[in-house]
Amino acid sequence: MKIALCQLNPITGDIAGNTAKLVAAVSQTSAGADLFVFPELFVQGYPPRDLLEQSWFAESGMRALDEIRRFSSSVPGAGILFGFAMPNNRPNGKRLSNSALLVCNGNIVFEQAKSLLPTYDVFDESRYFDPAPRRAVVPFKGERLGITVCEDAWNDPHMWHKLLYDFDPVAELAGLGATLLVNLSASPFYLGKEATRYAIVQNHARRHGMPFIFVNQTGGNDELVFDGNSMIVDASGALRAKLPPFAECVQVVDTAAFGPAIEPPRLDTIESAHAAIVTGLSDYIHKCGFLEALVGLSGGIDSALTAALAVDALGSANVWGVTMPSRYSSEGSVADSRAVAKNLGIKFSVIPIEGPFAAFLKELEPAFAGIVPGLAEENIQARVRGTILMALSNKFGHILLSTGNKSELAVGYCTLYGDMNGGLGVISDLPKTMVYKLARHVNRGREIIPASSLTKPPSAELRPNQKDQDTLPPYEILDPIIELFVEDGLSASEIVNKGFDEKTVSWVVAAVKNSEYKRRQAAPGLKVTPKAFGMGRRFPLAAKYEC
C-alpha cells in the first residue's frame, strides 16, 4: 500500500484553514497514494481546549467534515485518515470523541475514537471527550488497519514500570487481526521525548510483528511545540521512513517496497532544543498576528540568547533590541548589548532610565522616609524598564519577549510588572545551565553572543556590584535541585539524600513554593523540559504544605 504521511502544522481553531491544508496536501501529492494519514484532531487543531465546548465550533467542524467527505470523491479509491472531534450521540457523558475518521469515495467508512484520554501534565482530554467504548480493525486495500490516536500507543506494559491505564489498545487491535498499525498523534516535544517515542513505536512493531505508521503534528500552538518526526518502522522494528523534525512534509511510502533500512538519527540534542524554541516562537508570533518582536537587552546572556532566537525565528529586520541603562549599569553591559545587536543586525536603541527612576524615588521619598533602601528601590528600576518596553510594544505593535529563564522563574528571582513583562517567555523553560549550552550552540559558527556575556558573572545590576549568586546558590547546584523537585517530584529530604546540602535544598524548595503567585502571572512560555511551569504544573496559591 502506498501511504502518504502528512506531517503538517495546523492552526488551533482554524477549521476552514486546516481543512484547506488537508485538501491541498491530498491534491498536490504527485505520487498517487492509497491512504493519506494526517495527525490527531487535525481539522480542529491541537489542543483546541474549551473551543470544543462551543456549539458554533462543533457546527463549523461538521461543515468541514462534509467538505472533506465530498472532496474525497475527487480522489476515487484513496482513503483520507485524519483526526477529528466527532459528536458521538451518546445520551450521557461529554458527547464528543477524539476520533480518527477514514473517508473514501465520499463516505465516512470507519471511525475509531481515542481510548486512552490523558489527564496529566499539559493534557486534560477527559474534560472534553468520552473514551472509545470499543476498538475494531478496518479492512482497506488488502490490509487490516489497526488505528489508534496518540496516547493509545503509550500504555505498552514493556515500556513502563507503572501503567496509567488497565489495557493496551495496540495489543487489542493486534489480537483482532490487524496487519498494519497506524497512530495519529499530536505529541508535544520535550527533551527526551524523541527517543522515548521512537522506542515505543519500535517496540509495538516488534511485539506484534507488523509495520507501525506514526504521523505526528508539527509546529507550535501556545506553549506547546510539536516536533513531527513522523515515521514508519517495519515488522522487525527497523526504521523505513523518517520525516524531518520541526517541518511540514508529505512523504509517500510504499509498504510493499520499503527499500533499505534508515539509520536512526541522533535524538534529543541541543539542536533539538534550538529548533523547538525557534519553531514555537515563530508560530506563536505569526499565529497571534504579530510581525515583529521587541527585546530588552541587558548585556547578559539571557537577553542576548532571546534576541538571537528571535532573529532565527523572524529575521533580523523584524527584531528590535532596546537597552535601558541605569546608574548601576556597567559600561560593559551597554557595550555587550550594542555588540549583540550589531552581530545580529537588528535595530538597536538606548533609552536611559535614570530620569524616571529618580522621579519615582523623589515622589516616594515621604512614604519611604526612615526606611533603609532595599529591594523595593531595586525593583522600581525593573518596573521602569518594563513600562518603557510595554510602551514601545503598544506604540509600534511589536510583541515583547520576556527574557527570564527557568531557574529565575522557579525561585522568584524576577520582578512582577518589570522584567517579567511580555507576551511570550522564550527561554522560560530553560534552566540557566542550559541557557549557556544553547548560547554556545548559537555561537558555533561565529560570535553572535559576546564572549563577555558568556563569561561574566550574571547580575541584575539593580545595586552596586550586584551578582546573582549574592542571592542564589551557584546555578550548577541550583538547577539540579530544581529538576529533582519540579520535574521529578522529589521531597526535600529525598533531594538531600542525593548529596545536596540541607540548608540549600530547604531554601530552594521554599523559594519555589513562595514564588507560585509570580509564575501564575508570567507570560506563557515555550515547553522544552518534561515539566514546564504553566499549564502542565498546577499548584495552589493560598496553601500551606510541607514537602
- Give, in order, the Cα–Cα distances in Å from 132 to each of 149, 286, 313, 367, 547: 11, 35, 40, 64, 38
Task: Tell me which of 2, 21, 94, 114 is the catalytic residue.
Answer: 114
Residue showing cell 481510548? 115
Average pLDDT for residues 400-409, to the nearest whole number?
96
Helix 432-442 to helix 475-482 angle (10° resolution) is 110
pLDDT at 400 over 80: yes
Confidence band of 269 (pLDDT split at 50, 70, 90) = confident
| Better-scored residue on pLDDT, 457 or 117 | 117
Say how far residue 136 (Cα) sits from the centre of its chain.
33
pLDDT at 464 over 80: no
- Give, in order, the Cα–Cα distances in Å from 274 to each of 290, 312, 321: 21, 10, 20
Q: Please, are residues 269 and 278 in contact by the beta-carbon 8 Å criterion? A: no
Q: Please, are residues 186 and 84 in contact by the beta-carbon 8 Å criterion? A: no
> pLDDT tens digits, residue range 18-71?
999 999 999 998 778 999 999 999 999 999 999 999 999 999 999 999 999 999
* 3-class SS of residue 511: helix
Give the pLDDT confidence score for residue 546 in this predicted structure.
84
Distance CA 185, CA 183 (A): 6
For the chain, the residue count is 547
Task: Tell me which of 2, 6, 40, 461 is the catalytic residue.
Answer: 40
pLDDT at 484 over 90: yes
> pLDDT tens digits, residue range 329-375?
778 889 999 999 999 999 999 999 999 999 999 999 999 999 999 99
CATH class assigned to 2-268? alpha beta
Q: Please, are residues 166 and 137 in contact by the beta-carbon 8 Å criterion? A: no
pLDDT at 422 over 90: yes
Burial class (CB in 10 A: 0-12, 13-18, 19+), 457: exposed
DSSP class of residue 288 equals T
> Which residue in 388, 315, 314 sits closest to 349, CA to CA?
388
pLDDT at 309 over 80: yes
Distance CA 152, CA 129 (A): 14
Which range among 81-85, 396-400, 450-454 shows the weakest confidence by mean pLDDT?
A: 450-454
Q: Which residues contact 448 (CB under 8 A, 6 or more apart)?
A: 304, 308, 340, 343, 344, 442
Nine cell digits for residue 85: 472531534
pTM of this structure: 0.94
Average model confidence (pLDDT) for the chain? 94
**β-strands 2-7, 180-185 pairing:** unpaired
Which range among 155-164, 227-236, 248-257, 277-286 shows the weakest confidence by mean pLDDT?
A: 155-164
Mind giving me the DSSP string for 376-423?
HHHHHHHHHHHHHHHHHHHHH-PEEEE---HHHHHHT-S-TTTTT-SS
Report how far apart the first and last C-alpha atoms of the chain are (Å, whole number). Answer: 55
Q: Please, are residues 23 and 103 in contact by the beta-carbon 8 Å criterion? A: no
- Give, in order, the Cα–Cα distances in Å from 484 to each of 480, 489, 497: 6, 6, 12
Q: Please, are residues 1 and 256 in contact by the beta-carbon 8 Å criterion? A: yes
- E-strand stretches of 224-307: 224-227, 231-233, 239-242, 249-254, 293-296
CATH 3.60.110.10 in the chain, residue ranges: 2-268
Task: Tell me which of 150, 242, 378, 527 is the catalytic residue.
Answer: 150
Q: Which residues contact 271 (CB under 8 A, 6 or more apart)?
A: 441
372 backbone dihedrals φ, ψ, rounded to 5°? -60, 130
Angle at 524 between CA 519 and CA 526, to 5 degrees: 115
Confidence band of 459 (pLDDT split at 50, 70, 90) = low
Average pLDDT for residues 84-110, to the nearest whole number?
95
Q: Which H or E run contains 246?
A: none
Angle at 295 between CA 293 and CA 297, to 5 degrees: 160
pLDDT at 212 over 70: yes
Helix 301-314 to helix 331-344 angle (10° resolution) is 10
Q: Is-catalytic flag, 150? A: yes
Q: Is-catalytic flag, 143? A: no
For 133-175, what is the HEC assignment? CCCCCEEECCEEEEEEEHHHHCCCCCCCCCCCCCCCHHHHHHH
CATH superfamily to which 274-468 belongs? HUPs (3.40.50.620)
